[in-house]
Amino acid sequence: MKRLYNDDSAVSIAIGFILTFAITILTFTAVMHSSYVMMEQTEQKVMREEFEIHGQNIALQLTKIDTIVRIVDNTGGEVNEIRRDIELPLRIANNYYNIEFSDQAPKIIFESNERYETRVEIPYNLENTNISNKTISSASGDHYLLYNRTANLIEVY
């Protein structure tokens, strides 16, 4: 009587090849998927960091305008108009993005188009002026902040 666990007379080379090939394909697919997930997470992290940098820059510009208005008003002067260009790249991580300005909650909200994972909120503080509620897109070109004395409002274009 033969022992079955040592008997390899019924083993096919084709079956061994198919099993080895299937395991190789599954392993390769798992490695590729995990690489894709890691690249996606890295892209989102880069976008959030870039949004933080640009948001802090815009918040600084808003604070500068507000401070200038306060100082000039306190000294008895009058500010007719202040314009500050907003320097923004057209794309970040090869994606367009939106910037939302709100006077209700003093935040500048950056978000890549339809990707909540990239959403970043940057707070700002205005003591003497208000800001217009507006959402701008990076795809629409150059943008700037404009102080309107009659409305005591910083408008976003």
The pLDDT value given to residue 3: 63
How far apart are alpha carbons 86 and 94 in whole angstroms?
19
What is the rounded distance in angstroms from the CA atom of residue 73 to the CA atom of residue 78?
6
129 in Cβ contact with 65 (< 8 Å): yes
pLDDT score of 59: 94
Structure confidence at residue 21 (pLDDT): 93
List strand residue ranges (DSSP E) for the chain, in order: 81-86, 97-102, 107-112, 115-123, 130-131, 134-137, 143-148, 153-156
**Is the CA virtual torsion 57, 61, 64, 66 positive or negative?**
negative
pLDDT recorded at residue 2? 55
| Predicted confidence pLDDT, tens digits, the chain (157 residues) | 556 566 666 667 788 888 899 999 999 999 999 888 888 888 888 899 999 999 999 999 999 999 999 999 889 888 888 999 998 999 888 889 999 998 788 999 999 877 778 899 999 999 888 999 999 999 888 899 999 988 889 999 9
pTM (two decimals): 0.74
CA 59 to the chain's CA centroid: 16
Predicted pLDDT of residue 6: 66
- Domain residues of the chain, as ranges? 13-156
From the list 110, 107, 95, 94, the residue with the least C-alpha distance to 133 is: 107
